[in-house]
């Protein structure tokens, strides 16, 4: 190279005897700005292309305009960081800080967006594998358009920064291909094809990176540095006959030219290929790859159960786990048959199969302790209600009946008993349950005589002190009830109106109580939430209540059930039936039918099941558009998008919040600006100090004097016109000349000038005394 | 092609084949439309790239011109520029075109190779400005021997012979007055006593007198002035009515000697011409076996004469030009013979006998 590493100076290169290549060859500069912009465009094509690739494959909607603009700007800004070493180091710090703040601020949206994308992907997978997979992650904000936009912005910015490292430095297209196509294999595996434009963007970006890499740019033969020189000498072994080889490093115009050709090639070819082999009919008649089919079973298991699906240790009962609460973020269903029930339909109501009865609620441990462990009652013993109903049946009461329901628990050994089971016996794989159903019309009185002891204990009325406040707060929202029936109805109604049902309530936060979190914070949930809270509310209002888990069969399932051939109705049912004489049917009960409900004690009916879970799936208000959500997104309470909270605050509160958030943002920007200024000043100061520490007295004096002049010029505009030491010092002594002796002043001035000239132009090093003299002189005459 | 380039292209081709294989496997496994598109692109891209490079090679033209900043001649030890123009009228471009250039001083017979890697813009080509510093006078040429066009995919290098040449005549760097005095002093030209002793001084010193204001500085006899502690000048005979013949020896046995002869000749004639003396430059043409005789009245004519002289072929015998003089020009009484001996340049008035 024409560079002398010791002196860092460029020299001519001797081509032959008497002819040299001038060093001015290496003084040519490339258009660095345009070069970086081109690199930024490549990064944009790759990052936004890959995101759009994935999202368009699943037809996920988001604000494409905003995302494209932001990702493009960020890509260009990231590329610009490589303008100088300083911009790279400081720029990355600023970008990182800003990014962290924004991510923290909008974390709820980004999180929800991610969950939405994953859930949509899961839905797509369910569609492809023809399996039932429910949404896995809880989306705290329902408006997917907004949340996905945020998630895309987040991914886009991260990709911009990440890919920029590989693209701007070494154009490492192979690494980039594996990075961006890794995740994009998911939609392709599930036979979801992206939109053509994103295919073009991804392929165009890769083509650009490939062409640039294959050209002279980034050639390993040319050492790349963070400067903007246009030509470099190729590293060569000093052999006599080897010619001098000079290579250009970057040429923005050439990059644009080649880039346009590569992009045009991709843009032209993709539609042609698509026209020749349309996307929609591409796989028509294709039987599938047998090796892919081999992987599908494993993939579907992962999709349903995650990686733990390969190591399933516990049964899956629709998010219910024998009284353990709040562990499930989202109810994940496998739709595998848990119970097979054979019965003769007899009621329009839901039929419950009880498997677990919780009496004692354990706040913060978030669990119910089973009745077996509290009262010593064996759940499998004959219940008082069943006894009373049997008596009525035997007496031939009009609305009484006797039935045999056959239950086969295929999943585990827990016995699920329908209401009101008198006894059961094993019959091959089934348990034949003898039950005495209770109808709405029934007047059977289950008085205390039927109970061995008291019908309920103190535990059935106990509300833990930790939950009192939440329960009272809830009850305060209700009207003043007159009796238990009204209490129950009001709770159910209030749930229906204000506590939307969702299978994605999210896990109960760490060290939070399940019921309190539901009643006070989340205000939405699934059956366990409603049942657990209702039990405590009822108890607080003096109604004995218990928490029950099991399965519930609706009439709709009964209608869709299979008939059991060769079974006689009379062998399975006798007595009153709301549905008349039916046939024996077989119902496959899955974990989708798993349920939690409340058992309430009534002096007439005894203990009976009560449904408190609302029927609707969700009633959360969704905001209409991006910008209305955007206006709310400054709210960091995590309740954005929840109309209940916003409405409750009222207009004034909203304005206060907006003002508060605006102040926060302004303060943040101010702080950030100040931090940047301080950083830059610190850097400049450190550099100055470093320079001073290394300099000899001559240089030190000149630095100091320059600083002095700089300060003076800021204060006095006339001083700017003084261009040399003499003019500057004469100007400084103009005013004081009147006060002091002119001779002395002139003498000191001339000495100062002499020292400065010696320091500035001479090889001789000034003495410490001379240095001090000038410094003091400057101070005195400042 | 250099082995490094072949290896680089080979490495890239192997990498591309691996990527293609991965895509084929992905297509076979997933049967996705996207992978089908990628497959078509990956197969067609190298073909497109090759066709593009072939088209480019076919239509590319070149031109090499000298682009001297100071008039039409270059100057020794000063930057001279050659512009290599690649003219591309096609839409295609290349990111790497290797230009093999031969840089030569044809008068001195020195040459070296230079390889430049440049891009080619579509519809424009490229203009490469090469700054050359000639250390020797003579006829400097830059010849574009061949170009190697690399296709956009970086798999092929396509060669094309060009043989485009640009020339520039480089004049010797004139010796400035201070050096001139010293040189002349050293060579004895201005040492009147020494010249008189030899009896061949063409510029006879009439007398040595004291300095009178208005005298030329170059007339001052510095050595004598130093001895006498008073400025003395050499009063010369006017030579405006005489015609001086200068005969340099174009002997290339030693490159530095030839350089010194040319420099001295150029400086001397230049000085004489500025002093309004008529000078005839004569040199021995080895090709035509006769003297080339050029009258020089002004500096531009001197440049033209040197430009013409630089097309001559040098010879190896230092006294060859002088040796033919009695036979070819017996009428010539005397001439100024410029030759070299060891590290010295001899400028002597030689009688033609």
Residues of B in contact with A245 (CB under 8 A): 114-117
As a whole number of angstroms, the distance between CA A728 and CA A752 comes to: 11
| Cβ count within 10 A of residue B214 | 5
Domain-located, residue B341: yes
| Residue B125 sits in the same domain as residue B187 | no
User: How close B344 gets to chain A, by Cα (Å)?
Assistant: 20
Residue B237 sits at φ, ψ, to 5 deg, of: -85, 140
Interface of A with B in 121-180 (CB under 8 A): 174, 177
| Residue B260 sits in the same domain as residue B343 | yes
B256 in A contact zone (CB under 8 Å): no
Burial of B262 (0-12, 13-18, 19+ CB in 10 A): buried
Residue of B nearest to A291 (CA): B29
* Chain B interface, best mutation among A19, A21, A213, A232, by max B CB count within 10 A: A19
Q: Which of B12, B91, B114 sits opposite A21 (nearest CB)?
A: B114
Write out residues in chain B with pLDDT < 50, as ranges. Answer: 177-203, 238-241
Residues of A in contact with B15 (CB under 8 A): 174
Q: Residue B156 is part of a domain; what is its CATH number?
A: 2.60.40.10
Asked if A212 contacts A267 with a C-beta cutoff of 8 angstroms, the reply is: no
* Chain B interface, best mutation among A11, A18, A35, A216, by max B CB count within 10 A: A18
| Residue B266 sits in the same domain as residue B333 | yes
A546: left (phi over 0), alpha (psi -120 to 50) or beta: beta
Residues of B in contact with A177 (CB under 8 A): 19
SS3 at position A31: coil
Q: Which of A21, A174, A261 sits opposite B132 (nearest CB)?
A: A21
The structural domain count of chain B equals: 2
| Cβ count within 10 A of residue A673 | 10
Structural domain boundaries enclosing B140: 60-171
Residues of A in contact with B116 (CB under 8 A): 245-247
As a whole number of angstroms, the distance between CA A271 and CA B2 comes to: 40
Domain-located, residue B90: yes
Q: Which of A220, A245, A265 sits opposite B48 (nearest CB)?
A: A265
| Residue B102 sits in the same domain as residue B189 | no
SS3 at position A218: coil
| Cβ count within 10 A of residue A491 | 25
pLDDT at A621: 41
Is the Cα torsion angle A563, A569, A574, A580 positive or negative in sign?
positive
Domain-located, residue B36: no
As a whole number of angstroms, the distance between CA A353 and CA A418 comes to: 4
Interface of B with A in 183-202 (CB under 8 A): none
As a whole number of angstroms, the distance between CA B17 and CA B42 comes to: 9
What Cα–Cα distance (Å) separates residue A207 from each residue in A62, A180, B6, B45, B353?
Answer: 27, 14, 22, 9, 81
Burial of A704 (0-12, 13-18, 19+ CB in 10 A): middle
B31 in A contact zone (CB under 8 Å): yes
Contact across the interface for B96 and A216, Cβ inside 8 Å: yes
pLDDT at A62: 93
A274 in B contact zone (CB under 8 Å): yes
Q: How many CB pairs under 8 A join A and B?
A: 191
Radius of gyration of chain B (CA): 31
Residue of B nearest to A230 (CA): B118
| Residue B188 sits in the same domain as residue B150 | no
Residues of A in contact with B40 (CB under 8 A): 269, 273
SS (H, E, C) A122-134: HHHHHHHHCCCCC
Is the Cα torsion angle A636, A642, A645, A647 positive or negative in sign?
positive
Q: Which of A174, A194, A244 sits opposite B34 (nearest CB)?
A: A194
Contact across the interface for B152 and A215, Cβ inside 8 Å: yes
As a whole number of angstroms, the distance between CA B202 and CA B181 comes to: 17
| Residue B302 sits in the same domain as residue B335 | yes
Contact across the interface for A19 and B32, Cβ inside 8 Å: no
DSSP letter for B236, please: E
| Residue B144 sits in the same domain as residue B70 | yes
SS3 at position A248: strand
Interface of B with A in 52-81 (CB under 8 A): 52, 79
| Cβ count within 10 A of residue B113 | 17
Contact across the interface for A215 and B150, Cβ inside 8 Å: yes
| Residue B339 sits in the same domain as residue B263 | yes
User: How close A374 gets to chain B, by Cα (Å)?
Assistant: 58
Asked if B335 contacts B246 with a C-beta cutoff of 8 angstroms, the reply is: yes
| Residue B250 sits in the same domain as residue B335 | yes
Domain-located, residue B215: no
Domain-located, residue B44: no
Domain-located, residue B227: no
pLDDT at A403: 92
Q: Which of A19, A21, A258 sits opposite B110 (nearest CB)?
A: A19
As a whole number of angstroms, the longest Cα–Cα distance in chain B is 108
| Residue B264 sits in the same domain as residue B311 | yes
Interface of B with A in 88-147 (CB under 8 A): 91-96, 100, 103-105, 108, 110-122, 130-136, 138, 140
As a whole number of angstroms, the distance between CA A327 and CA A315 comes to: 14
Domain-located, residue B295: yes
Domain-located, residue B7: no
Residues of B in contact with A285 (CB under 8 A): none
Burial of A597 (0-12, 13-18, 19+ CB in 10 A): buried
- Angle, CA of A363, A364 and A366, to the nearest 5°: 75
pLDDT tens for A246-262 read: 888 888 899 999 999 99
Asked if A354 contacts A420 with a C-beta cutoff of 8 angstroms, the reply is: no
Residue closest to A71 by CA, chosen among A164, A188, A185: A164
User: How close A307 gets to chain B, by Cα (Å)?
Assistant: 22
Interface of A with B in 635-654 (CB under 8 A): none
pLDDT at A721: 78
Residue closest to A688 by CA, chosen among A674, A700, A675, A676: A700
Write out residues in chain A with pLDDT < 50, as ranges. Answer: 1-8, 221-223, 311-316, 380, 617-628, 631-654
Contact across the interface for B30 and A292, Cβ inside 8 Å: yes
pLDDT at A487: 87
| Residue B187 sits in the same domain as residue B306 | yes
Residue of A nearest to B156 (CA): A214
| Residue B271 sits in the same domain as residue B167 | no
Contact across the interface for B32 and A193, Cβ inside 8 Å: yes
DSSP letter for A668, please: H
């Amino acid at each position: 190279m024409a560079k002398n590493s010791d002196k860092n100076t460029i020299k001519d290169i001797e081509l032959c005897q008497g002819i040299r290549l001038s060093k001015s060859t290496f003084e040519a500069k490339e258009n660095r700005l345009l070069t970086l912009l081109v690199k930024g465009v490549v990064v944009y094509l790759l990052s936004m292309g890959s995101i759009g690739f994935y999202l368009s494959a699943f037809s996920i909607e988001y604000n494409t305009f905003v995302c494209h603009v932001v990702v493009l700007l960020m890509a260009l800004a990231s590329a610009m960081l490589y303008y100088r070493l300083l911009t790279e180091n400081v720029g990355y710090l600023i970008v990182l800080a800003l990014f962290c703040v924004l991510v923290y601020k909008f974390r709820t949206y980004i999180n929800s967006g991610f969950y939405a994308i994953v859930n949509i992907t899961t839905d797509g997978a369910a569609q492809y594998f023809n399996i039932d997979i429910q949404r896995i992650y809880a989306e705290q904000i329902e408006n997917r358009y907004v949340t996905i936009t945020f998630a895309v912005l987040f991914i886009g910015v991260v990709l911009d920064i990440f890919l920029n490292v590989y693209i701007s430095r070494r154009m490492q297209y192979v690494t980039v291909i594996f990075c961006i196509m890794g995740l994009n294999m998911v939609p392709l595996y599930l036979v979801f094809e992206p939109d053509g434009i994103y295919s073009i963007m991804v392929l165009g970006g890769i083509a650009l990176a490939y062409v640039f890499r294959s050209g002279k740019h980034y050639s390993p033969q040319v050492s790349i540095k963070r400067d903007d020189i246009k030509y470099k000498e190729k590293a060569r072994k000093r052999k006599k006959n080897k010619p001098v080889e000079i290579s250009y490093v970057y040429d923005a115009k050439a990059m644009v030219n080649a880039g346009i050709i590569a992009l045009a090639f991709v843009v032209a070819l993709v539609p042609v290929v698509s026209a020749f082999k349309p996307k929609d009919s591409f796989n028509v008649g294709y039987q599938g790859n047998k090796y892919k089919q081999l992987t599908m079973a494993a993939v579907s298991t992962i999709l349903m159960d995650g990686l733990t699906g390969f190591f399933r240790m516990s049964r899956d009962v629709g998010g219910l786990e024998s009284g353990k609460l709040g562990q499930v973020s989202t109810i994940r269903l496998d739709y595998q048959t848990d119970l097979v029930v054979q019965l003769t339909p007899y009621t329009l109501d839901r039929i419950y199969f009880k498997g677990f009865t919780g009496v004692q609620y354990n706040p913060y441990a978030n669990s119910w302790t089973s009745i077996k462990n509290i009262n010593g009652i064996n759940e499998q013993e004959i219940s008082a209600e069943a006894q009373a109903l049997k008596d009525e049946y035997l007496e031939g009461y009009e609305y009484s009946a006797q039935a045999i329901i056959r239950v086969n628990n295929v999943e585990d050994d827990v016995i699920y008993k329908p209401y009101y089971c008198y006894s059961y016996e094993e019959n091959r794989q089934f348990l034949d349950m003898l039950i005495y159903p209770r109808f709405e019309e029934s007047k059977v009185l289950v008085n205390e005589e039927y109970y061995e002891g008291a019908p309920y204990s103190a535990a059935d009325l106990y509300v833990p002190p930790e939950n009192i406040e939440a329960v009272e707060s809830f009850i305060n929202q209700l009207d003043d009830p007159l009796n238990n029936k009204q209490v129950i109805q009001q709770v159910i109604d209030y749930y229906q109106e204000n506590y939307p049902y969702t299978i994605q309530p999210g896990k109960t936060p760490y060290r939070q109580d399940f019921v309190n979190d539901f009643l006070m914070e989340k205000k939405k949930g699934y059956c366990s939430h409603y049942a657990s809270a209702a039990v405590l509310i009822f108890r607080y209002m003096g109604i004995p209540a218990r928490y029950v888990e099991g399965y519930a069969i609706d009439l709709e399932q009964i209608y869709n059930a299979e008939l059991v051939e060769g079974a006689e109705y009379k062998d399975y049912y006798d007595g009153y039936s709301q549905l008349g004489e039916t046939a024996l049917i077989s119902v496959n009960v899955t974990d989708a039918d798993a349920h939690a409900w409340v058992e309430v004690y009534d002096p007439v009916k005894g203990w009976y099941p009560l449904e408190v879970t609302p029927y609707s799936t969700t009633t959360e208000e969704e905001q209409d558009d991006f910008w209305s959500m955007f206006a709310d997104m400054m709210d960091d309470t995590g309740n954005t998008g929840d109309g209940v909270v916003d409405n409750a605050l009222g207009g004034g509160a909203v304005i206060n919040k907006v003002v508060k958030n605006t102040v926060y943002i302004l303060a943040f920007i101010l702080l950030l600006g100040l931090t940047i200024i301080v950083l830059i000043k610190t850097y400049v100061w450190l550099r100055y100090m470093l320079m001073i520490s290394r300099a000899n007295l001559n240089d030190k004096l000149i630095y100091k004097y320059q600083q002095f002049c700089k300060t003076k010029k800021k204060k006095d505009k006339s001083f700017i016109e003084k261009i040399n030491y003499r003019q500057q010092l004469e100007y400084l002594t103009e005013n004081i000349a009147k006060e002091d002796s002119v001779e002395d002043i002139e003498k000191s001035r001339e000495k100062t000038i002499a020292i400065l000239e010696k320091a500035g132009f001479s090889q001789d090093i000034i003495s410490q005394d001379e240095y001090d003299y000038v410094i003091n002189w400057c101070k005195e005459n400042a | 092609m250099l082995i490094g380039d072949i290896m680089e292209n080979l490495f890239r081709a192997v990498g591309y084949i691996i990527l293609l294989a991965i895509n084929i496997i992905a297509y076979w496994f997933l049967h996705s439309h996207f992978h089908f598109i990628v497959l078509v692109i990956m197969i067609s891209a190298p073909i497109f790239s090759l066709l593009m490079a072939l088209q480019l090679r076919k239509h590319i033209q070149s031109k090499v011109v000298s682009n001297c900043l100071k008039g039409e001649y270059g100057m020794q030890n000063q930057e001279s520029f050659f512009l290599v123009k690649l003219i591309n009228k096609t839409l295609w471009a290349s990111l790497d075109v290797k230009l093999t250039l031969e840089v030569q001083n044809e008068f001195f017979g020195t040459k070296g190779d230079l390889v430049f890697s440049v891009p080619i813009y579509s519809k424009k080509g490229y203009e490469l400005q090469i700054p050359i510093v000639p250390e020797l006078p003579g006829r400097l040429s830059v010849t574009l021997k061949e170009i190697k066009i690399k296709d956009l995919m970086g798999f092929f290098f396509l060669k094309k012979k060009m043989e485009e040449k640009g020339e520039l005549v480089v004049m010797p760097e004139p010796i400035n007055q201070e050096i001139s005095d010293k040189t002349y002093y050293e060579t004895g030209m201005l040492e009147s006593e020494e010249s008189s002793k030899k009896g061949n001084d063409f510029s006879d010193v009439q007398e040595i007198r004291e300095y009178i204001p208005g005298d030329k500085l170059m007339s001052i006899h510095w050595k004598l002035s130093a001895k006498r502690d008073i400025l003395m000048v050499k009063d010369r005979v006017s030579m405006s009515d005489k015609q001086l013949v200068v005969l340099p020896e174009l002997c290339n046995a030693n490159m530095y000697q030839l350089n010194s002869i040319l420099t001295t000749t150029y400086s001397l004639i230049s000085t004489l011409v500025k002093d309004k003396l008529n000078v005839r430059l004569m040199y021995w043409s080895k090709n035509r076996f006769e003297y080339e005789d050029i009258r020089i009245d002004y500096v531009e004519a001197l440049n033209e004469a040197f430009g013409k002289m630089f097309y001559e072929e040098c010879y190896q015998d230092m006294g060859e030009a002088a040796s033919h003089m009695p036979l070819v020009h017996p009428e010539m009484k005397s001439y100024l013979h410029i030759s070299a001996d060891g590290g010295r340049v001899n400028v002597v008035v030689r009688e033609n006998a």
